[in-house]
Amino acid sequence: MTSTSQSTSQAHVNHVTRSFTELASTVRDTGLLARSYLFYAIYGTILTLAMGGVITGIILLGDSWFQLLMAGALAVVLTQIAFLGHEASHRAIFVSGPANDRVGRLLSTLVVGISHQWWMNKHSRHHANPNQMGKDPDIASDTIRFTEADAATATGIVKSIVKRQGWLFFPLLTMEGLNLHYRSVVSLATQGTRRQKWTELPAIALHFGLYLVPLFLFLPLGMAFAFLGVQMAVFGVYMGASFAPNHKGMMIVPEDVKMDFLSKQVLTSRNIRGGWTMSILMGGLNFQIEHHLFPNMARPHLLRTREIVREYCSKLDLPYTETSLVASYVIVVQYLNRVGLAARDPFDCPERVALGRG
C-alpha cells in the first residue's frame, strides 16, 4: 500500500471515529443518556400486576384445559420480565451499577430461572463483537449454523437439520426455553465461581421449586406437563423471535478483520419499524442499532436517539438498515436456508433426485 492510500485510509478511519465522538456528544447533550425511573417504575408495576393476574387465573380455572391459555400468558409475562432483566444487565435502569446487578440477578435467576452471570458474560461478548466469527457467541456453531464454513462441517442429524434450517428455525425455537435454562445451569456448574454457584444456582432451584411444585400439586399430571410444555415453547419462541431479527442475515465480520466501533455496530444490526408498540413487544430490541451504540440507554430514549443516529449515518453514507418485523423474519429464513446449502451434497440437486427416483 502506498503512503497516499494509507493516509486516505487513516483519514477515513479518523473521520468515522471522530463522527461517533460527535454523535455521542450530541446524544449526551440532548439528555438522552439520563435514567428513566418513572418508566421502569410503571413498567415493573404492570408486570407485577400481570404476574399476579396470571397466578390468579390459574387458581380460578382449576382443573381445566383452558390452563394452556394461562401457560401462554405466563410465558409472555416471563419474557417481558427477561427483557427488563436484560436492561438491568446493561445498567440502563439505575445509575448505580450494583443496584442494576441486584435487580438483574433477582429478575433473571429467581423470576425467570436463567443465570444472570452467564447471560451477562455471553451477551457482553456479543456486544463487543457482533456477528464477528470466532468472537460473537451468538453465531457460534450449534444446531443452527450461521456461516457456510460451520454449515459445511455439520454431520449426522445436525446436518439434516442444517440443510433445512431456515424453515426449521421457528419450530426449533420451541426448544429454546429449555436450552436457556440448561445452558445457565451447566455454565454455572462448570465455569461459575464459588460465589456465583452459591448465589445463582440456589436461586434458579428456588425458581423451579416455586413454579413446578404448586403446578404438579394443583393440576392433574398430564395437564401439568402440558402446561409446562406450552409455557416453555411460547417462552422460547417469543425470546428467539425478539432477538433473531436484530442481526441474523446482516454482515458477517471475518475473525481477523478490525472495524471502527460505529461501522461495526451499525453494519451488523437491523432495526424493526413500529415505534412504541414494537418497543413494548420486543423490549426495546427493535432499536437494535441504537441499543448497540448506547447499550446503557434507557428504553424510552431509544426512539428519539434513532432520529439522531439515522441522520449521522446518512451524512457518513453508512448504511442504516430498518425493516418491518415480518420482512425481517423472511430475511432470517432466507439467509439461514442459503447458509444451509453448504451442508448439502453438491450433487444433490432436484434434477438428480428426480432421475434417481426414475
- Encode 256-274 in three state secondary structure: CCCCCHHHHHHHCCCEECC
Where does the pLDDT of residue 18 fall: very low under 50, low under 70, confident under 90, or very high at 90 and above?
low
Q: What is the pLDDT of residues 127-177, one digit of tens each?
A: 999 999 999 999 998 889 999 999 999 999 999 999 999 999 999 999 999
Which DSSP letter does residue 323 get?
E
Instruction: Kindly report, residue by residue over 260-278, the tens digit of the pLDDT.
Output: 999 999 999 999 999 899 9
**CA of 182: how far to CAs of 8, 291, 337, in Å?**
50, 27, 27
358 pLDDT above the threshold of 50: no
Residue closest to 343 by CA, chosen among 153, 58, 147, 125: 153
pTM of the model: 0.89
Q: Residues 85, 293, 286, CA angle at the centre, nearest 5°? A: 60
Report yes or no: 33 and 301 within 8 Å, Cβ to Cβ. yes
Across 120-125, average pLDDT: 91
Residue (of 164, 328, 154) closest to 240 by Cα position: 328
CA proximity to 269, closest of 300, 313, 311, 235: 313
Q: What is the pLDDT of residues 27-37, one digit of tens each?
A: 999 999 999 99
Q: How confident is the model at residue 333 (pLDDT cuts 50, 70, 90)?
A: very high
Burial pattern 226-242, b for ≥16 Cβ within 10 A else e, equals: bbbebbbbbbbbbbbbb
Whether 4 shows a pLDDT value over 50: the answer reads: no
Written as one letter, the residue type at 211 is Y
Distances 39 to 43, 93, 107, 232, 286 between C-alpha atoms, Å: 6, 9, 17, 28, 18
- Banded model confidence at residue 344, pLDDT cuts 50, 70, 90: confident
pLDDT at residue number 59: 95
Helix (H) or strand (E) holding 322: strand 322-323
Residue 15 has pLDDT above 60, yes or no: no
| pLDDT band, very low/low/confident/very high, at 9 (cuts 50, 70, 90) | very low
Whether residue 16 is predicted with pLDDT greater than 70 in this model: the reply is no
User: Is the pLDDT at 68 greater than 80, yes or no?
Assistant: yes
Identify the three-state secondary structure at position 337: helix
Q: Quick check: helix, strand or coil at residue 279?
A: helix
Q: Name the DSSP class of 341.
A: G
User: Average pLDDT for residues 314-337, to the nearest whole number?
Assistant: 95
Task: State the average pLDDT over residues 114-119.
Answer: 92
Residue-averaged pLDDT of the chain: 90
47 grid coordinates:
408486570
**Which triple of cell numbers denotes residue 285?**
430490541
Report pLDDT for 14: 44
pLDDT at 218: 94
Residue 249 DSSP one-character state: T
Give the CA radius of gyration of the chain.
22
Is residue 357 predicted with pLDDT exceeding 90? no
Which stretch of DSSP H or E encloses residue 119?
A: helix 116-128
- With bands split at pLDDT 50, 70 and 90, how would you rate the model's confidence at 345? low
Question: Which tens digits make up the pLDDT trace of 222-252?
Answer: 999 999 999 999 999 999 999 999 999 999 9
* Residue 356 pLDDT > 90: no
Residue 142 pLDDT: 87
Residue ranges per domain, the chain? 10-340
Confidence bin at 17 (pLDDT 50/70/90): low
If pLDDT is split at 50, 70 and 90, which confidence band does 346 have? Answer: low
The kind and range of the H/E element at 234 are: helix 221-243
